[in-house]
Structure 1
Amino acid sequence: MKNILNKCDYELNVSKIDGFLAVFMIGYVFFSTAIGRYIVFDLALWDKFASYFNNRLFARFLFHIPLSLFQIFPIFIILKYRKQSLKSIGFNKVQILKQISIGIILYIPLYLLSLILNWVPGINFNLDSMSIWSFLYMLIEIALVEEIIFRGFLQQRLKGLIKNKYVNLLIVAFIFGSIHIPFILAQSNLTFVQVFISIIPKMIMHIYFVGIYKAGNNSVLSATIAHGVNNFIATL
């Protein structure tokens, strides 16, 4: 864990103000997630919207554009208010090919682990899910949004209040896991204990994605590629 948290060439100097803004963003993320769940599942607006399209994967991509922007737009307001650059949330123009390569290479252990955990004789892929729109949905509207929020913003700025980097890492990991609970509950009937256990793999994934973020020299691109490809392959 020590290597995961080592400083890179660029490290944001944070203050208590940044820490409090991170706390605000945590609350906002839970709020926006609840709104998204309500729109998709309770109001069933997604099914109504998709009924107008022949390609449901394309419809899903379009439907989630405003929801994705709704989740991250406060971050860009905060950056402007704090006079912080996009680099402070992991957008780095230097050595882009290296950032992409790191994301691809560090995805491989995730793929090998998934093969081990889900091994069955033969490998079957769901060809219906092999769509460019499904890939873009996982890459941009899931992975990129989560990487901006959790690895690019919260993980860096919560240090303004929580100085211990290990405690900081575990707290953000727990928040990352917890944010998935509304969707887990919407799609399955689990007990409280089962729900709690289900967020542990998400916490581990957060720690791993922080490692990728750091390996790419604080690169949201590296983490997004590994995260997006992992999610896409998991749907096949």
Structure 2
Amino acid sequence: MIKIAMVEDDLELADVLTQYLKQYNIEVTNYEEPFLALSSLKFNKYDLIILDLTLPGMDGLDVCKLIVKDYNIPIIISSARSDITDKVTALQLGADDYLPKPYDPRELEVRIKTILRRFNSNHEDTNSTQEKVKLFNLDIEKREITKNGEYLKLTAAEYEVLSLMLKREGFIISREEIFDNADLLNSDFESSGSLAVIINRIRHKIEDNPKEPKYLHTIRGMGYKFTNE
């Protein structure tokens, strides 16, 4: 059974989600108070956390920061806050997904299982006899990206796009999601095709052969996918 800790002060929503997910063998324990949730993590093992941002006593972004600092557990942000800054900050802090309210519980169930498949796969790799070392590494505080330990010289726009790729490693990212999460990109970039130009510049800086990319792939009709191996 999948065990989830939910931090949600809307008790009616928490009950609806709890009952819905139960039919998919997902057990949810909800905490209305963020301090209770943080205390529970010290004594209970959960597979994933669903975290609201507007909480009594502590902002959800601060809760996210504390969880990422002390625990290796995936986090889905579930929030009615529509400010793009909140979404960007949550993902930069280490949240694995951001699901804006209102949403269909079926989407939450699918996202939970998708994230856990990826997380468990990565966890198995790190526990193997020979641990894989990531080729690319992102340092959010320094706003730096390295390849094989060497600093990549990136423009601000290139950094925004490539850092998003690294955070979404293994997932297909649509053009729309890139524009939603990259503050330096706007509709003018989209209409002029400059995103493709930025992607091409990034490939020239990270690929051995930009015409046959091994890391930053174009998925026709869907977007882009980054592999870090």
Tell me the TM-score range normalised by the shorter chain.
Answer: under 0.3
How high is the TM-score relative to the length of structure 2? 0.28
- Bigger RCO of structures 1 and 2 (CA < 8 A, at least 6 apart): 1
How high is the TM-score relative to the length of structure 1? 0.27
Which has the larger share of strand? Answer: 2
Which has the larger share of helix? Answer: 1
